[in-house]
Chains A and B, each alone.
Chain A
Amino acid sequence: MRYAETGFNLEVDLTRGNIERVETDPRDTELYLGGLGTNAKILWERVPPEVEPFSPENLLIFGAGLLCGTPAIGCNRTIVSTISPQTLLMAFSMMGGFWAPELKYAGYDKVILRGKSPNLVYLWINNDKVEIRDATHLKGRGAVETAELIRQELKEPRAQVAAIGLAGENRVYFASIEQGRSSASRGGIGAVMGDKGVKAIVVRGTKDINVARPAEFLALCNEVMSYIKFRNENPIPGVMPILAGLGSPQEMKVHDEKWHTENFMWGNSRVRQKDFWNEEVARQWAETLDSMRTRLISCYNCPMTCGATISPPGLPTYMMKCFSKLTYTMAAFADLEFGLGIAQSATEYGVDGFSTPQVMAFALELYENGILTDDDFPGMPSDNEGRFYWLLDKIVRREGIGDVLANGTYWAARQIGKGAEAYAHNNIKKHEQLPLKLSMLNPIYFLMYATGEKINITQIEGQFPQAPWPTREEREEFVKDWFQVPDEKFKQYLLDWEPRGEKSMPFYPTVEMCCDIVDWQEKMHYIDDGLGMCSGLSSFPLKPPYHMHNYPAFISSGAGIDMDEAKLTQAAKRYRTLVRAINIRRGMRRKDDKPPENHWKKRFPELEKELLDTYYKFKGWNDQGIPTKESLHELGLDYVSEDFEKRGIYSDNDGASSKETSPETEKN
Chain B
Amino acid sequence: MGEKKKKIIKSIKIDVEKCNGCRSCEMICSAFHATPKYSSNNPARSRIRLIRDPLRDIYLPVYAGEYAPAECMGRDKYVIAGKEYEECGFCRASCPSRDVFKEPDSGLPLKCDMCEDDPPQEKPLCVQWCIHDALIYEEREEEVEEEVKLEDVEVGLESMIDKYGLEKVMDTVTRISASKKS
In the bound complex, residues from chain A placing their C-beta under 8 Å from that of B57 are 294-295, 309, 317
A189 proximal to B (CB < 8 A): no
A524 proximal to B (CB < 8 A): no
Interface residues of B in 9-46 (CB under 8 A from A): 20-24, 27-28, 31, 34, 36-45
B22 touches A303 (CB 8 A): yes
B20 touches A297 (CB 8 A): yes
Interface residues of A in 191-209 (CB under 8 A from B): 205-209
A162 to chain B, nearest CB (A): 15
In the bound complex, residues from chain B placing their C-beta under 8 Å from that of A181 are 54
Chain B residue total in the interface (Cβ 8 A): 29
A31 to chain B, nearest CB (A): 25
What are 20 contact pairs spanning A and B, CB under 8 A?
Answer: A71-B41, A105-B44, A157-B53, A208-B34, A214-B36, A218-B31, A228-B131, A295-B21, A295-B59, A297-B21, A298-B21, A299-B22, A302-B22, A303-B22, A309-B55, A309-B57, A317-B55, A317-B56, A317-B57, A318-B55
Chain A positions 80 through 117: 1 when the CB is less than 8 Å from some CB of chain B, otherwise 0: 00000000000000000010000001000000000000
A225 touches B31 (CB 8 A): no
Apart from A206-B42, A207-B42, what 18 extra A-B contacts exist at CB < 8 Å?
Answer: A71-B41, A73-B24, A105-B42, A144-B55, A180-B54, A205-B44, A206-B44, A207-B44, A208-B34, A208-B41, A209-B40, A209-B41, A218-B38, A295-B57, A295-B59, A297-B21, A303-B22, A316-B55
Chain A positions 159 through 193: 1 when the CB is less than 8 Å from some CB of chain B, otherwise 0: 00000000000000000000011000000000000
In the bound complex, residues from chain A placing their C-beta under 8 Å from that of B36 are 214
Q: Identify which of A211, A296, A301, A302 gathers the most chain B CB atoms within 10 Å of its CB.
A: A301
A301 touches B53 (CB 8 A): no
In the bound complex, residues from chain A placing their C-beta under 8 Å from that of B37 are 214-215
In the bound complex, residues from chain B placing their C-beta under 8 Å from that of A316 are 55
In the bound complex, residues from chain B placing their C-beta under 8 Å from that of A303 are 20, 22, 24, 131-132
Per the bound structure, the CA–CA distance linking A229 and B39 in Å amounts to 25
A148 touches B55 (CB 8 A): yes
A210 proximal to B (CB < 8 A): yes
A80 to chain B, nearest CB (A): 22
Q: Contacts A210-B39, A317-B55: A225 and B131 contacting too (C-beta < 8 A)?
A: yes
Per the bound structure, the CA–CA distance linking A319 and B31 in Å amounts to 29
B61 to chain A, nearest CB (A): 14
Q: Which 9 A-B pairs have the closest CB atoms?
A: A206-B44, A214-B38, A298-B22, A208-B40, A206-B104, A298-B20, A214-B39, A208-B42, A210-B40
A182 to chain B, nearest CB (A): 12
Per the bound structure, the CA–CA distance linking A229 and B41 in Å amounts to 24
In the bound complex, residues from chain B placing their C-beta under 8 Å from that of A148 are 55
B129 proximal to A (CB < 8 A): yes
A71 touches B21 (CB 8 A): no
Chain A residue total in the interface (Cβ 8 A): 41
In the bound complex, residues from chain A placing their C-beta under 8 Å from that of B31 are 71, 214, 218
B22, B42, B54, B104: the one contacting A300 at CB < 8 Å is B22
A217 proximal to B (CB < 8 A): yes
Per the bound structure, the CA–CA distance linking A294 and B39 in Å amounts to 37
Chain A positions 307 through 330: 1 when the CB is less than 8 Å from some CB of chain B, otherwise 0: 001000000111100000000000
A70 touches B21 (CB 8 A): no
Interface residues of A in 280-297 (CB under 8 A from B): 294-297
B87 to chain A, nearest CB (A): 12
Q: Taking CB as reference atom, which chain A residue is nearest B86?
A: A157
In the bound complex, residues from chain A placing their C-beta under 8 Å from that of B53 are 157
In the bound complex, residues from chain A placing their C-beta under 8 Å from that of B23 are 98, 300-301
Q: Identify which of A70, A71, A319 gathers the most chain B CB atoms within 10 Å of its CB.
A: A71
Chain A positions 35 through 60: 1 when the CB is less than 8 Å from some CB of chain B, otherwise 0: 00000000000000000000000000
Interface residues of B in 112-135 (CB under 8 A from A): 129, 131-132
Binding site for A on B (CB under 8 A): 20-24, 27-28, 31, 34, 36-45, 53-57, 59, 104, 129, 131-132
Q: Taking CB as reference atom, which chain B residue is nearest A299?
A: B22
A484 proximal to B (CB < 8 A): no
In the bound complex, residues from chain B placing their C-beta under 8 Å from that of A157 are 53
Q: Taking CB as reference atom, which chain B residue is nearest A69?
A: B41
A570 proximal to B (CB < 8 A): no
Per the bound structure, the CA–CA distance linking A210 and B104 in Å amounts to 16
Per the bound structure, the CA–CA distance linking A144 and B55 in Å amounts to 9
Per the bound structure, the CA–CA distance linking A229 and B130 in Å amounts to 11
In the bound complex, residues from chain B placing their C-beta under 8 Å from that of A295 are 20-21, 54, 57, 59
B20 touches A296 (CB 8 A): yes
A569 proximal to B (CB < 8 A): no
A305 proximal to B (CB < 8 A): yes
A319 touches B24 (CB 8 A): no
In the bound complex, residues from chain B placing their C-beta under 8 Å from that of A299 are 22
In the bound complex, residues from chain A placing their C-beta under 8 Å from that of B59 are 295
A375 to chain B, nearest CB (A): 41
Q: Taking CB as reference atom, which chain A residue is nearest B38?
A: A214
In the bound complex, residues from chain B placing their C-beta under 8 Å from that of A210 are 39-40
B136 to chain A, nearest CB (A): 15
In the bound complex, residues from chain B placing their C-beta under 8 Å from that of A298 are 20-22
Q: Taking CB as reference atom, which chain A residue is nearest B37?
A: A214
In the bound complex, residues from chain B placing their C-beta under 8 Å from that of A218 are 31, 38
Q: Identify which of B21, B34, B56, B57 gathers the most chain A CB atoms within 10 Å of its CB.
A: B21
In the bound complex, residues from chain A placing their C-beta under 8 Å from that of B22 are 298-303
A305 touches B44 (CB 8 A): no
Q: Taking CB as reference atom, which chain B residue is nearest A98?
A: B23
Chain A positions 352 through 385: 1 when the CB is less than 8 Å from some CB of chain B, otherwise 0: 0000000000000000000000000000000000
Q: Taking CB as reference atom, which chain A residue is nearest B25?
A: A301
A160 to chain B, nearest CB (A): 11
Per the bound structure, the CA–CA distance linking A297 and B31 in Å amounts to 23
In the bound complex, residues from chain B placing their C-beta under 8 Å from that of A309 are 54-55, 57
B21, B24, B40, B104: the one contacting A211 at CB < 8 Å is B40
Q: Contacts A105-B44, A303-B24: A215 and B38 contacting too (C-beta < 8 A)?
A: yes
Q: Identify which of B28, B37, B54, B131 gathers the most chain A CB atoms within 10 Å of its CB.
A: B54
B70 to chain A, nearest CB (A): 22
A305 touches B20 (CB 8 A): yes
Q: Identify which of B20, B23, B34, B129 gathers the most chain A CB atoms within 10 Å of its CB.
A: B20
A225 touches B129 (CB 8 A): yes
A233 to chain B, nearest CB (A): 11
Per the bound structure, the CA–CA distance linking A299 and B54 in Å amounts to 12
Per the bound structure, the CA–CA distance linking A305 and B132 in Å amounts to 10
A599 to chain B, nearest CB (A): 37
In the bound complex, residues from chain A placing their C-beta under 8 Å from that of B55 are 144, 148, 309, 316-318
